[in-house]
Chain A
Amino acid sequence: MRSGELIASDRGARPAQPDDLAQAWHVLGQVMDPEVPAVSVVDLGIVRGLAWQAGHLEVVVTPTYSGCPATEVIESDIRDALVQAGFHAPRLQRRLTPAWTTDWITERGRAQLREYGIAPPDGSTSKRTLLGEAPQVLCPQCGSAHTELLSQFGSTACKALYRCCDCREPFDYFKCI
């Protein structure tokens, strides 16, 4: 918490209204991941909970990767969006446990990833996937299952680089963790 925030936030404290949480979920549904701007932080599954605490909205966020450089940007985007929507001094809480998993990406999020040109994670984080058996990765451009791994890491830590052997397009694959 930055110095001075506590004083400012107390001035804006107010009791919860019946539709506050629903409205906050709606606002967060518009906040996009800065590195995958097609998917909202809600559909990415990193907003773990909203609550009204001591007159303020409290948002619980779970980072995707320990070293994800977007974590701070995402938190400040969330804060800005809520403040703009009229939530005074929302409180953000970073929670590591339970660890984020790609299983938390919603169906809508998976569809949005595909449309954006990123293959969504294959199924769930079953033992099979974690232990390294090749996932079934479909080309987000043409839908072909005839794809090959180019590199275990892509443009960010959460992605790997693949190529479609049919349409020849390279594409990012959102890794399963």
Chain B
Amino acid sequence: MSIEDDLTRYLLHLGDTALIQGQRLSQWVGHAPALEEELALANVGLDLFGQARNWLDYAAERLDDGRDADALAFLRTERELRNLLLVEQPNGDYAVTMLKQFFYDAWHCQVLQGLSGSRDERIAGIAAKGFKEVTYHLRRSSEWVERLGDGTDESHARMLAALPKVWRFTVELVNADAGEQRLAAAGLIGDPATLAAAWHAKVAEVFTRATLPLPEPASAFYLNGREGLHSEHLGLLLAEMQYLPRAYPDAVW
């Protein structure tokens, strides 16, 4: 596979991950525990949709097969999506939601920081813009993990119960595939080893403050989001997200 194909696949990976995380967050709208939380979750989701659009626009131009960003978002099946497994997992309770968000934000911040130094100016521009937004997301989710972990007996117990539900999916956050290694060597994305080290350090730091036990690093298993091998949850999410554009292909609003 050429480096050009690696890059297009990677743009889909970034765009799909932001898109699915944004969709999960928007599922809280109407259900969040407090109005301020609902606004916050929806706004974080909005930032992610904007970033997803920027990545998918670029991916669509590179693919040049007549599909635009909307077609990539709404007309691909789960086998074609390249998002991280972590973000497609169900929201669960607030402990699960915030833990997922925190693991994702800690990864996302490092990814965008690395990309803002990309040789590709368009990628660097999108990433530099997103980095500012995601710094704020990470601050917020770190505070929530600390608050719930080091909170009441109930909230601490909820965090302990949430951890095994999501931890194994973090294996994808700290293990780049061969395509990403090639992109990093070509100066198009940040160094995966730096990213992994920074992610582990951030999680360790916040978990200490949150009085949560740090598990052993997760190990790979048979699913792989980058390759389109997803958990069963993604198909159900897409059924809802893609219903309208599939049922009414020419709908505009």
Q: Which residues of A does B touch, CB under 8 Å?
A: 65-69, 96-101, 130, 132, 150-157, 161, 175, 177
Contact = CB atoms under 8 A, between A and B. Distances in A.
Interface string B35-73: 011011011101111110110000000000000000000
A29 B91 CA distance: 44
Contacts of B46: 65, 67-69, 157
Going nearest first, the 4 A-B pairs with the smallest beta carbon separation are A67-B50, A66-B50, A151-B36, A97-B125
Contact of A96 (B37, B125, B135): B125
A96 B132 contact: no
B39 A99 contact: no
Interface of B: 36-37, 39-40, 42-44, 46-51, 53-54, 121-122, 124-126, 128-130, 132-133, 135-136, 139-140
Contacts of A100: 129
25 contacts: A66-B50, A66-B130, A67-B49, A67-B51, A68-B46, A69-B46, A96-B54, A96-B126, A96-B129, A99-B128, A99-B132, A100-B129, A130-B135, A151-B37, A151-B39, A152-B40, A152-B139, A153-B36, A153-B39, A153-B42, A153-B43, A153-B44, A157-B46, A157-B133, A177-B136
A73 B247 CA distance: 27
Given A67-B50, A152-B140, 11 more contacts: A66-B53, A66-B54, A97-B125, A97-B129, A150-B36, A152-B136, A153-B40, A153-B43, A155-B39, A161-B36, A175-B136
Contacts of B139: 132, 152
Contacts of B126: 66, 96
Nearest to B35: A151
* Interface SS majority for chain B: helix
B220 to A, nearest CB: 31
Contact of B128 (A98, A150, A155, A175): A98
B129 A99 contact: yes
In the complex, which of the residues B39, B40, B135 has the most CB atoms of chain A within 10 Å of its own CB atom?
B39
* Interface SS majority for chain A: loop
A130 B40 contact: no
A66 B124 contact: no
A85 to B, nearest CB: 29
Nearest to A152: B140
B60 to A, nearest CB: 16
In the complex, which of the residues A96, A130, A154 has the most CB atoms of chain B within 10 Å of its own CB atom?
A96
Contact of A177 (B44, B49, B133): B133
B54 A156 contact: no
Given A99-B128, A130-B132, A154-B39, A68 B50 contact: yes
B224 to A, nearest CB: 27
A157 B128 contact: no
Contact of B124 (A97, A157, A177): A97
A96 B124 CA distance: 10
A156 B44 CA distance: 10
Contacts of A157: 43, 46-47, 133
Contacts of B122: 96
B125 A67 contact: no
A68 B46 CA distance: 7
A99 B125 contact: yes
In the complex, which of the residues B43, B53, B124 has the most CB atoms of chain A within 10 Å of its own CB atom?
B43
A171 to B, nearest CB: 14
Contacts of A98: 125, 128
A68 B49 CA distance: 9
B221 to A, nearest CB: 33
